[in-house]
Amino acid sequence: MSRIVIFAAGSRGDIQPCVALGRALRARGDEVRLVASARYAPMAVAAGLELAPLTADPTEILESDAGQELLAGGRNPVKFLGGFRRILGPMAERLLAECFDACKGADLILGPTLGFLPRHIGEHLRVPWALIHFQPSEPTGAFPHPFVPQARALGPWARRASFRAVDQIAWQLSRPFINPWRDESLGLPRLPLRGRRPDGPVLACFSPVVVPRPKDWGPNLHLTGYWFLDEPEWEPPKELAEFLAAGSAPVYVGFGSMVPKDAEVTALAVRAALKLAGVRGIVQGDPASSDEDALAVQDVPHSWLFPRMAAVVHHGGAGTTAAGLRAGVPTVVCPFFGDQPYWGERVAALGAGPKPLPFRALTVPRLASKIRQAVQEQKMADRANDLGHQIRAEDGVGQARQIIDSLLR
């Protein structure tokens, strides 16, 4: 039996894959500690995991003025990473201490690229570690970094350089917190001004069907496939079951943990777009606001809901995009920031949805047009269905478990 710590900092889409992996490890007898916001304690407990709560709440952060500025930053890596520094800077010392305490006694540490925390703590504790990638962050000449679309028209050298540039921006913004922590708390030497990406193992938690493996990725990167957290025992409330049975398959519209500046205006625009497109809808929102053509829901598992939709419209988070593709229905992505535009482009390039509609450019006619395209184009529906079959045949959690076994040995 091993003691495994999994960092799962972020929103629900970042948490669920880690919980899925943790549940599988727990089922075979490992002790698994999840490091995540206290908001996700019920999910961790239901999976049989121990939770080491972080005091930072992602929803509260995104609702703040700084969070709204972050959402408005779009696909600019300087604004995106700089926004994280402004938000997390005042609480960095506390969060680093919480992460360090959570890893005591660990035999293996897994976590995301942000700050490379598994590497620092693993080095201090002298235990193996690995990074988790929810998007393709490993340098390659095949495509640019998901944050840097401008490099797409350039050659392989420029594409690879885009990864180095994002790494350097991230390091320069995190170095004022990380180096003192390494020195004073971990007893490790400070890292140089020009940081260098660690050469440790990487678990890439996405499908090779969606992101084909570039030839220049090294053997340290393991492309496992997605890690899905299924809830087969979940039963829909009466209102949802009756709405689905009352007519044709609806279109789902929801933006996950993204918090639009004017949520009421956004909700009205979404319903107007659904009506203009001539489809029924299931929307993320207050159930009391439901009407004959649009049912509002709050917390319905995507694994249950999405396969029953005619199409899904969402923000393009890595986890939500994975759920939509797995369901085998066309996807409309309305990205806000970060890697979301990248996933929208991947959906379109795969033929499983129209070109993404950036949230800042969303209007009723534009969204209605995208929805009509998603539900009416048979070629798109066929392609989405084919991708769904391929993704459902993968065993991402099983692949990740094999890699973890090799690290523990």
Residue pLDDT tens, the chain, 409 long: 899 999 997 778 889 999 999 999 999 999 999 999 888 999 999 999 999 998 866 566 555 565 555 555 555 665 655 555 565 555 778 888 899 999 999 999 999 887 899 999 999 999 999 999 999 999 999 999 998 875 556 789 999 999 999 898 888 888 888 999 999 999 999 998 887 777 899 999 999 999 999 999 999 999 999 999 998 889 999 999 999 999 999 999 999 888 788 888 999 999 999 999 999 999 999 899 999 999 999 989 999 999 999 999 999 999 999 999 999 999 999 999 889 999 999 999 999 999 999 999 999 999 999 999 999 999 999 999 999 999 999 999 999 999 999 999 8
Domain 238-392 maps to which CATH number in 3.40.50.720, 3.50.50.60, 3.40.50.2000, 3.90.700.10? 3.40.50.2000
User: Is residue 201 within a helix (H) or strand (E), and if so which, with residue range?
Assistant: none
User: Is residue 147 within a helix (H) or strand (E), and if so which, with residue range?
Assistant: none
**CATH class for the domain made up of 3-226+394-408:** alpha beta
- How many other CB atoms are there within 10 angstroms of residue 256's CB atom? 18
Q: What would the two tokens of residue 123 be?
A: 């080095």
What global pTM score does this model have? 0.91
The pLDDT assigned to 88 comes to 59
* Nearest in space to 223 (alpha carbons), one of 208, 237, 234, 209: 208
Q: Give the CA-trace dihedral at 227, 231, 237, 240, to 10 degrees.
A: 40
Q: Answer yes or no: same fold for 3-226+394-408 and 238-392.
A: yes
Query: Is the distance from CB of 66 to CB of 259 less than 8 angstroms?
Result: no
**Domain range annotation of the chain:** 3-226+394-408, 238-392
DSSP 3-state of 233 = coil
Tell whether the torsion through CA atoms of 288, 293, 298 and 301 is positive or negative. Answer: positive
Q: Give the CA-trace dihedral at 299, 302, 305, 306, to 10 degrees.
A: 140
What distances in angstroms separate CA 30 from CA 8, 99, 204, one per listed residue? 18, 20, 21
User: Which amino acid, one-letter code, is at 148?
Assistant: V
